A and B are shown apart, each in its own frame.
Chain A
Amino acid sequence: MRLRRSDYELGTVKEVQGVGLYVLKRLAILIVVVFLVSVGTFFLVHLLPGDPTVTILGPNDTAQNKALLLKQLGLNQPLLQQYFTYVGHIFQGDLGESFITHQTVTNAIANAVPIDIELIVFSQIMAFGVSIPLALLVARRPNKALDKISTGATFGLLALPPFIVIVILTLIFSVHLHLLPGPSSYVPITQDFWQNIRSMLLPSITLALGSIVIYYRLLRNDLIATLQEDFITMARSKGLSDRRVLVRHALRPSSLSLLASAGTNIGGLIAGAFVVEYLLALPGLGYLLVESIQQRDYLMVQGVVLFVAVAILVINFIVDFLFSVADPRIARD
């Protein structure tokens, strides 16, 4: 994945075929995995101990409701037909209805998704804002003091999971300094823009820290390797300034692999978001999922799991597709 100018041979017929084949292969994997995910989420209900209708509705619900649920889940049909009923409902956008809040699962997901998107966008802006300048500074003088400090610090951050970071940050900025709002302070962006941004800061910083570790380590190693290439020596001997060499000549080939890793990082981000959302009571997907699990709202859990899994898979596929078109060498690896 390391990008070297000497590798550039774009546009040949072989290359284009390679990309097409690669994209087809990825598409095939995507379809297989989405199929497996649907089978997996379908079988979740069958993992429930005992009679699923009693477990889902509780022992005191009416026989009428039980019959309704039985019909909705199609549990009295043969297994294969149950699966097709389930998939059929999904394609109609019907993921079922919560038996506790009587909200449709699709509706609940639609309300939660914008929060996750906002969180991820903020955290990624912060992560790039820190990791790119830092890696550029360090790559100029590898193995010097700044390199040792920041590489050591990122190694330390690896051992700090988001659920520890968020507790520390809440304690400092919210409980002691009163600078930022603490848990349960979420306000929709349409209601109060600045209050929304303020309440998003703590969770975004927490998520950003995890991404900084990944991006910094990738970019630092990439840049150090690129700076030893002949075209850098060439650029320097032309008398270009250090800054210009770094940004225009060295960073540019590395930026593509950086963005690609950001795209594949998305699964980890969503997972990290679960934890910060739960702690700060941000009503995003993670909060919805954990709450539904704790309330034993099984159909909600099933729907959210299916949605999140498919979303991660599709995002990964799109990112992969875009980058293999932009840079055919990715397909060659």
Chain B
Amino acid sequence: MTDHSVGSPLGVVPQPVEVAVPRSTDAVRSERRGRRAADLGVVFWICAGWVAINILAAILAGVLPIDNPNLQTVNINGGPSAAHLLGTDDLGRDILSRLIYGARVSLVVGFGSIAIGMAIGGTLALIAGFRRGLVDSILNSACYVLLAFPALVAIMAVVAFWGQSLGKITLIIGITSAPVLFRVVRASTLSYSTREFITAARTLGASDTRILTREILPNILPAAVSFALIGVATVIVLEGALAFLGLSIQPPTPSWGNMLNESRTYLSQNLWLALFPALAMFSFLLCLNLVGDRLRQHFDVGEGKL
């Protein structure tokens, strides 16, 4: 975990290395049983459920029976009550509703930028890993150069000069995440493109496009998806940091990061104001990391394969 942990926003997540620990026979037996049932564990499903609830709430925010996130009432800094489940902020706005609308920003930036990164990095990686040779060498060197770039500083600078809209932030983070995703996808493409079934497909007369989309893509997808989930968590932290510094979406549009930033002024008067955005972000990130981590273990994508 040396050189690729620098520079890119995704490199911050330390990837645990799988270590064989001597285990009792009981542990081995229970693991076998677990694997047979393809069991990801109860915790995994709880976390996946929480992630799904967050995503659904963000999508359905307009339909849900909640207040307008910018509706100001006279109930200023009110604690949790029946009318406002999570209380109200310094302008009397409903915190729950702002959290749900704020999730939109985090999720759009998180999933959007990883989607952009995958579209650029992943596609190039498929081609590089499959064709190998000169194309691969050029793309791989370019990837190393880009990985050495201090991404957060670059993102801050571009956002400062270019503007702070949701689309621009998503695009910039997406581009900076591409090299990391390139590495992951390229590594698994390389390992599959020399396998027998690829030769078999070619012997049957399949075209390159068909081999890539029908033979290789389905095989590398689990690894790519589980890594992408951890990437989404990292990007959400990054957007949060930008919002906290006042460099992301501008108020009054709520986002978890800027809600947390606004709450600082009222820390001694209204603790709920800081607590709920922090909890929302923590629980979502924890669950997303856990889901990604479990999936990665399940599909056995270790650091060693990168």
Contacts and interface: CB of A to CB of B under 8 A. Distances in A.
Interface in A203-230: 213-214, 217-218, 221-222, 224-225, 228
Contact of B267 (A167, A213, A214, A275): A167
Contacts of A305: 153-154, 156-157
Contacts of A40: 154, 157
Given A29-B144, A32-B145, A217-B16, A163 B240 contact: yes
Given A33-B148, A40-B154, A49-B163, A268 B282 contact: no
A330 B21 CA distance: 25
Interface residues of B, number: 59
Contact of A271 (B152, B257, B268, B283): B152
Contact of B2 (A159, A264, A313): A264
A278 interface: yes
A197 interface: no
B245 A261 contact: no
B264 A290 contact: no
Nearest to A34: B148
A294 B2 CA distance: 34
Contact of A171 (B14, B274, B286): B274
A130 to B, nearest CB: 15
Interface in B109-161: 144-145, 148-150, 152-154, 156-158, 160-161
Interface in A136-170: 142-143, 155-156, 158-164, 167-168, 170
B261 to A, nearest CB: 8
A171 B289 CA distance: 27
Contacts of B23: 143
Contact of A261 (B5, B7, B144, B293): B5
A320 B145 CA distance: 15
A167 B264 contact: yes
Contacts of A275: 241, 244-245
B247 interface: yes
Contact of A33 (B14, B149, B286): B149
Interface in A222-245: 222, 224-225, 228
Contact of A167 (B7, B19, B260): B260
B145 A33 contact: yes
Contacts of B260: 163-164, 167
A51 interface: no
Contacts of B14: 158, 213-214, 217-218
Contact of A164 (B19, B21, B281): B281
Contact of B246 (A47, A168, A294, A333): A294
Contacts of A320: 2-3
A174 B40 CA distance: 42
By secondary structure, the B interface counts as helix
B245 A301 contact: no
Interface in B150-177: 150, 152-154, 156-158, 160-163
B52 interface: no
A2 B20 CA distance: 14
Contacts of A316: 6, 148
Contacts of B150: 267, 270-271, 308-309, 312-313
Interface string B259-271: 0110110011001
A271 B152 CA distance: 7
A99 B286 CA distance: 44
Contacts of B48: none
Contacts of A225: 19-20
Given A218-B14, A264-B5, A289 B240 contact: no
Nearest to A307: B153
B6 A228 contact: no
Nearest to A315: B6
Interface in B219-249: 233, 237, 240-241, 244-247
Nearest to A286: B245
Nearest to A48: B161
A1 B2 contact: yes
A207 to B, nearest CB: 13
Contacts of B59: none
B46 interface: no
Interface string B39-79: 00000000000000000000000000000000000000000
Given A40-B154, A268-B6, 18 more contacts: A29-B148, A47-B162, A158-B289, A159-B289, A163-B244, A167-B274, A225-B19, A225-B20, A264-B5, A267-B152, A268-B12, A270-B153, A275-B241, A275-B245, A301-B160, A305-B154, A312-B6, A316-B148
Interface of A: 1-2, 29-30, 32-33, 36-37, 40-41, 44-45, 47-49, 142-143, 155-156, 158-164, 167-168, 170-171, 175, 213-214, 217-218, 221-222, 224-225, 228, 260-261, 264-268, 270-271, 274-275, 278-279, 289-290, 293-294, 298, 301-302, 305, 308-309, 312-313, 316, 320, 330, 333
14 contacts: A40-B154, A49-B163, A155-B290, A161-B241, A171-B271, A261-B2, A271-B152, A271-B241, A298-B161, A308-B150, A312-B6, A313-B148, A316-B148, A333-B2
> Which 8 residue pairs spanning A and B have beta carbons closest together?
A159-B285, A159-B286, A293-B160, A271-B152, A47-B161, A163-B244, A305-B157, A161-B237
